Structure 1
Amino acid sequence: MSLTEHRTTSAVSAALAKDRLGVPSVVFFVISAAAPLTVIAGVVSTAYAATGVTGVPLAFVLLGAILGLFAVGYVTMARYVVNAGAFYAYTAKGLGRPVGVATAWVALLAYNALQVGLYGVIGSAAEPLFVDWFGISPPWWVIALAFWALTGVLGLMRVDVNGKVLSVLLLTEVAVVVVFDIADLLHPAASAGYSLEVFNPGNLFVPGVGAVIAICVASFSGFESSVVFSEETKDPRRTVPLATYVALVVISALYALSSWALTVPVGVDRIVDASREQGPELLFALAGQHLGPTIATIGSVLFVTSIVAAMIAFHNTIARYIFALGRENVLPAGFARTNPPTGAPIIGSLTQSVFGLAVIVVYAAFDLDPLVHLFFTIGSFGGLGVLLLLTGTSVAVLAFFLKTPGVENVWRTRIAPAIASVLLIVVLGLALVNFDTVLGVAPDSLLRWVLPAAYFAAIGLGVAWGLALRRNRPGVYANIGLGAQAAVRRSS
C-alpha cells in the first residue's frame, strides 16, 4: 500500500458516517436520552416528595425557558463548529484548548455516570414483569447484563438503525404518557378539581426551591446532545438547530403538563404525601385505577423501554465523545477507529461497554443497592456534571462570539448567551447548595462534597493535560477542537 493510500485509509477509518440522520432521528436521540416516562414516574414524584414544594410544573417551565436561551447561542455556534465532541469543541474554541480538554474529562464523567446509573434502575423496573409473567425473580444484575448486551450490540450498528429503534420506543413511550395524562385529567379530585396553583410562583419560590430546581434540571440531561450527532446529519446548519428546539419544546411541555396532571386526581394538597407514600409507583397506580390493570402493565413495560432508550442514546453520545478525543489525539489515536461498514465509533462504543460491565460487576459483587447507590447517587452525580457542562459552554459561546464579532446578530451572539450564562450559574449554585437533598442524604454527608469535588479534580487534571500537550506535543495541541479537520491535517 502506498503512503497516499495509507493516509486515505486512515482518514476513512477515523470518520463517522455522513448524511445518515435527519431532524426526526436526531430528535429521537435527544428526547430518548431525556427518558420522559422515567422522569415523570421517578423524578417528578421525587421532587414532590423530597422537597414538599408543589410548584414542580412551574419549575419545568422556567428551566425549559432558561435552556431555550442557552440553545440560541449553542445552535448558532453549531454553524461554525461541527464536531462530535460538542461541549469539548465549543469550550476549546471559546475559552481555550486547556479548558476544552477539561470539559472533555467532565463530559466523560457525567455521561458515563448517567449511562451506568440506568443499569441500577432497569432491574427494579423489569423484575415485577418477570414475576407476573414467568413467576421468577432474577437478580437485578442479570437483568442489567441482558440490557447492557443489547445496548452494546446496537452501539456497533449504523447510527440510523439506532435512530429507528429509538423512534419506535420513544413514540410509544410518549403516547402512553399522553394517555396517562388524559386519564388523570378526566378524574379530578373532588376537593381540588383542576387547580392551577402549581403554576403560581408563590408555590415555587419558597424554602426548598433550590432543591426543586436541582432535582428537575437533571431531567433535561441529553437535550444538548443534538450537536454530538452533527457530523452524521444530512444538513448540520438546519438539522441541529431545528432538532434542538423541537426536542426542548416537547420535553418542557411534556414534563410541565404531566407533573400538573399527576396532581389533578390526587389534589394539590395531597400530592406531596401521595408521592412520599408511593414514589414512582404513583403514576402507574393512578393508571391502574383509571384505565385498568392491563393499561397499567403496558405502562410498566414502557417504563422499562424508556430506560433502554435512554441507555442507547447515552451510549451513542459517549462513544462519539471518545471518538472525537481520539481523532484529535487527546486520547490515543486508536479511540478514533470506526467500523467502516456501519460508520459507528467502534472503540468508543466498546470502551463504554467495558466500563458499564465493570460497574455492574462491582455493584453485584459488593451487594450494593442498585437503586439507591447506582441510579439515584451516580445518576444525580451525572446530572450535576451536565449542568456544569451547560454553564461552561454557555460562557464559552459568549466568549467565542466576542472574539468573532459581526458574524451573526447581537441577540444570538451576545444577549441570549449572556442571560443564559447568568441564569445557569445561578441554577448551578442552587444545585450545589442543595446537593444533599438531590442525593437524599444528610446535610453533613461526605457524599455531597466528594461527588462535586470529583468534577473539580477532573477540571484540574484536564487543564494540566492540555498544558502538557501544548508544551510537549504542539501539533496535537493545535488540532484540539478542529474535529474532522484534525484528521485531514494529520494526513496531509
Structure 2
Amino acid sequence: MADTTIAESSAAPPDAPTTAPEAAVVPPEFRRLRGSLGVASIVFIVVAAASPLGVIGGPVPLGIAYGNGAGFPFVFIVVTAVLLLFAVGFTNATPFVKSAGAFFAYVGKGLGRGAGLGAAFAALLSYIALEAGVFGLFGPGANELLKSYGAPDIPWWVYAAIGFAVVSALGYFKIELSGRVLAVLLIAEVLIVLALDAVVIFSGGGPEGFSTGIVDPTHILSGAPGFAILFAILSFIGFEATAVFRDEARDPERTIPRATYIALILIGAFYTLSSWVLISANGQSTIVENASENAGTILATTTEQYLGTVGGHIIQVLFVTSLFACILSFHNIVSRYVFTLAGRGVLPRALGDAHARHGSPARASLAASGTVAVLIALAVVLGLDPIGQFYTWLGGISSVGIVLLLVLTSVAVIVIFRRTPNELGPWKTTIAPGLGLLGLGVFAVLVFVNLPVLVAEDGYGPFSWGIIALFVLAFALGPVVARRRAGARLE
C-alpha cells in the first residue's frame, strides 16, 4: 500500500542512493510527507481539534439552555452512537482508499473524480473557515484573561496575530512537534475538567444530588431536542480527520481505524460525563435558567465553587490554551488537504512539495496561513465583532460543510463496498454504514432548519442563503475542475 500514498507518484526510485542527504538526492518534486505518528499522537491531534474544554464551556451551556435542559447529556450518547456507526464503514473502507485525503478520497473512490474534487473544495472551505473563526474566540479570550491579571485592554486582533504567528511556525515543522504541543495542552485541559467531575461526584453531586435527566424521557424530550442535537454535532467536528494523517502514521491501516474509534469514544464519554456533572453541580431544577443567564461563565463559576479560586483561574487559562490547540489542530488538517490536492495536480504543484529536512507540508502550511491571515484582516478592516459575527458566521459555514461531507462520505463508503470484492460481512459494509447514513441525514436536516440561529439571523437571510450558495459552488466546481484538469487524480 505504500505506493499509493498522497505523493505516491513522487516516491524516490528504488536505486536512489540512501547515504547522501535527502535534499541532495531527491528532487523537490519527489519529496513526500514523513512521520511516525502512533495511535496516541493522532488521537491527541484529533481530540484537540474538538477542543474539549471549549465545548464544555461553550456549546454545552447553550445546548442546555436552548435545547433540552437536563436531558442534554443523553444527546451526546445519541450523536456518539451515530458517528460510531459511520466510523464502522469509514474505517473498514480504509484499505480500499489508500490516500491521505479523508473525505474527498473516499468520495472520489466511491462516487467519481468530479464528486471527490467537489468534496475536497467543500472540506477546504469548512476547515479554513473554522481555523480562522476560532481566532475570533481566541483573541477576546486572551484579552479578557490578561486583563484579569492587570494587563491593559487591547484590540482582540493583537492576540490573534500572536497566536497566528505561533501556529504558522509550528505548522512549518514536522508533525511530531505539533503533536507534542497538543498533547501537553490537551492533557492539561482534560485534567482540570476531570478534577471538577471527580470533586462533584465524590461529594455526592450538587445542591439537588445527581441529575436524573440523562435517563429521564421527560427531560430528554423536553424543550428543543433537535436544537440540542445540533450543538452536540458541532462538538465533534474534527474527529474524521484521522485519515488526513495517513502518510505520517505508523502502519496506517491499523493506526487510523484505532485512532478514529478511540477519539470518538473518548470525546463522547468525556462530553457525556462532564455535561452531566455540570448539570448536577448547579442543580437540575435551575440549570436551564442558570445556563441561559450565564452561558459564557457557568463553567468558570462552577469550577471556582468546587475547586476554589485557584481552580477558577486555571480554567480561565486553559480555556484560552484549548482554543489555541483547536486552531493548531485545524491548521495541520488544512495544510494536509492543500498538500494532497497540490500533489494530485488540483492546486499549484509547488504546494505539494514536502520540506526537505522536516518532511512537513511547509509550503502548504504557509498557503493556509496566508488564507487565514486574509480572513482575519478582512474582519478587522470591516470592523466585525470577533465573536458575534466573525466566529459565528465562519462557524456556521464549517457546521454546514462538515455535516454535508459526512453524509456524502457515508454514501460513498456504501458504494465502495458494493463495487469492491470483500469478505467483511453485511454489518461492516451495509447495516452499520446504512444506519449511520440515516442518522447523519437527520442531523443534516436539523442543521439546515437551525442554520439561521447558528449565524444569528432571524429566519433565512442573506448570510444563511450565502452559506448554502458557497457549498453549491464548491461542489459544482469539482466536476468542472475534473474536466479541465484531466491529469488531476484522487488516487
TM-score (norm 1): 0.92
Cα distance in structure 2, aligned partners of 1:377 and 1:419: 31
Cα distance in structure 2, aligned partners of 1:357 and 1:227: 26
Among 366, 378, 386, the residue aligned to 1:350:
366
Which segment is superposed worse, 460-469 or 392-401?
Answer: 460-469
Cα distance in structure 1, aligned partners of 2:170 and 2:300: 29
1:277 lines up with 2:293 in the alignment: yes
Q: Specify every segment of 5 or more residues in structure 1 that has no aligned partner in the other structure, as ranges.
A: 483-492
Identity %: 35
Describe the shift of the 1:418–1:349 C-alpha distance in structure 2 as closer, same or farther (beyond 3 A). same
- Structure 2 contact 66–223 (Cα < 8 Å) conserved: no
Cα distance in structure 2, aligned partners of 1:102 and 1:128: 40
Among 438, 448, 451, the residue aligned to 2:464:
448
Partner of 2:6: none
Cα distance in structure 1, aligned partners of 2:200 and 2:464: 36
1:164 lines up with 2:205 in the alignment: no
Deviation of residue 206 (structure 1)?
Answer: 4.5
| 1:401-432: CA deviation from partner (whole Å, max 9, x where unpaired) | 10013242221112111111121111111111
Describe the shift of the 1:433–1:314 C-alpha distance in structure 2 as closer, same or farther (beyond 3 A). same
- Structure 2 contact 67–226 (Cα < 8 Å) conserved: no
Partner of 1:9: 27
Cα distance in structure 2, aligned partners of 1:100 and 1:207: 39
Cα distance in structure 2, aligned partners of 1:429 and 1:184: 37
Partner of 1:289: 305
Cα distance in structure 2, aligned partners of 1:162 and 1:260: 32
Partner of 1:301: 317
Which segment is superposed worse, 451-460 or 95-104?
Answer: 451-460
- Structure 2 contact 68–222 (Cα < 8 Å) conserved: no
Deviation of residue 440 (structure 1)?
Answer: 3.5
- Structure 1 contact 126–143 (Cα < 8 Å) conserved: yes
Partner of 1:486: none
**Alignment-mate amino acid for residue 417 of structure 1:** P
Cα distance in structure 2, aligned partners of 1:321 and 1:7: 26
SS at 1:317 equivalent: helix
SS at 1:425 equivalent: helix
Partner of 1:93: 109
Partner of 1:61: 77
Describe the shift of the 1:70–1:305 C-alpha distance in structure 2 as closer, same or farther (beyond 3 A). same
Partner of 1:230: 246
Describe the shift of the 1:405–1:418 C-alpha distance in structure 2 as closer, same or farther (beyond 3 A). farther
Partner of 2:228: 212
- Structure 1 contact 103–462 (Cα < 8 Å) conserved: yes
Partner of 1:319: 335
Which segment is superposed worse, 436-445 or 210-219?
Answer: 436-445
Q: How many residues end up aligned between the 2 structures?
A: 470
- Structure 1 contact 64–248 (Cα < 8 Å) conserved: yes
Deviation of residue 208 (structure 1)?
Answer: 2.0
Deviation of residue 250 (structure 1)?
Answer: 0.5
- Structure 1 contact 36–174 (Cα < 8 Å) conserved: yes
Among 113, 131, 139, the residue aligned to 2:155:
139
**Alignment-mate amino acid for residue 369 of structure 2:** S
Cα distance in structure 2, aligned partners of 1:41 and 1:17: 36
1:368 lines up with 2:384 in the alignment: yes
Deviation of residue 8 (structure 1)?
Answer: 4.9
Q: Specify every segment of 5 or more residues in structure 2 that has no aligned partner in the other structure, as ranges.
A: 1-11, 17-23
1:231-270 superposed matches below 5 A:
231-270=247-286
Cα distance in structure 1, aligned partners of 2:460 and 2:336: 38
- Structure 1 contact 215–438 (Cα < 8 Å) conserved: no
SS at 1:262 equivalent: helix
Among 383, 392, 404, the residue aligned to 2:399:
383
| 1:16-74: CA deviation from partner (whole Å, max 9, x where unpaired) | 104x2011100001100000000110111111223354321111110000000001111
**Alignment-mate amino acid for residue 319 of structure 2:** F
Deviation of residue 128 (structure 1)?
Answer: 2.2
Describe the shift of the 1:362–1:396 C-alpha distance in structure 2 as closer, same or farther (beyond 3 A). same
SS at 1:38 equivalent: helix
- Structure 1 contact 187–265 (Cα < 8 Å) conserved: no
Cα distance in structure 1, aligned partners of 2:129 and 2:209: 40
Describe the shift of the 1:444–1:239 C-alpha distance in structure 2 as closer, same or farther (beyond 3 A). closer
TM-score (norm 2): 0.92
| 1:253-301: CA deviation from partner (whole Å, max 9, x where unpaired) | 0111111111112222211111111112100011112211111111111
**Alignment-mate amino acid for residue 172 of structure 2:** L
1:396 lines up with 2:396 in the alignment: no
Cα distance in structure 2, aligned partners of 1:453 and 1:56: 32
**Alignment-mate amino acid for residue 164 of structure 2:** W
Partner of 1:490: none
- Structure 1 contact 55–203 (Cα < 8 Å) conserved: yes
- Structure 2 contact 68–225 (Cα < 8 Å) conserved: no
- Structure 2 contact 68–223 (Cα < 8 Å) conserved: no
1:72-221 superposed matches below 5 A:
72-185=88-201, 186=203, 188-190=205-207, 192-206=208-222, 208-221=224-237
Partner of 1:460: 476
- Structure 1 contact 284–296 (Cα < 8 Å) conserved: yes
